[in-house]
Structure 1
Amino acid sequence: MGQPVIVQIENIYYPILAVIGVPADLLTIVILSRGRCGLSKCITHYLVAMAAADLLVLIFEVILYEIKDAYFSYSFLNYTPICRLNLSLLFVSIDCSVWLTVAFTFDRFVAICCQKFRTKYCTEKTAAVVIAVVFCLSVLQNVPIYFIYEPREIIDNEPWSCNVKSSFYFLPMWITLLWLETILTPFVPFVLILLLNALTIRHIVMANKVRRVLRGNNNNENDNDPEMVNRKKSIILLLAISGSFILLWMVNFAFLICVQFTDAKFLEANYNGPFTIMEKSGYMLRCLSSCTNKFIYALSQSKFREELKDVIKSPLSLVTNLINSVK
Structure 2
Amino acid sequence: MRSLHNTQFSILELAPVREDKSVQFSLQHALELAQHAEKLGFSRLWLAEHHNMDGIASSATAVLLGYLLANTSTLKVGSGGIMLPNHAPLVVAEQFGTLETLYPGRVELGLGRAPGTDQVTMRALRRGRQETEEQFPQDVLEILSYFGEAKQGQRITATPGQNTHVPVWLLGSSLFSAQLAAQLGLPYSFASHFAPRMLGQAIQLYRENFQPSPYLDKPYVSMGVPTVVADTDEEAEFLATSVYQRILALLTGRSLKLQPPVQTMEGRWSVSEKIAVQNFLAMAQIGSPETVKQGLEKLLMQYDVDEFIFTCDIFDTDKRLNNFSLLIDLKQSN
With normalisation by structure 1, the TM-score equals 0.25
With normalisation by structure 2, the TM-score equals 0.25
Bigger share in strand: 2
Larger Rg: 1
Bigger share in helix: 1
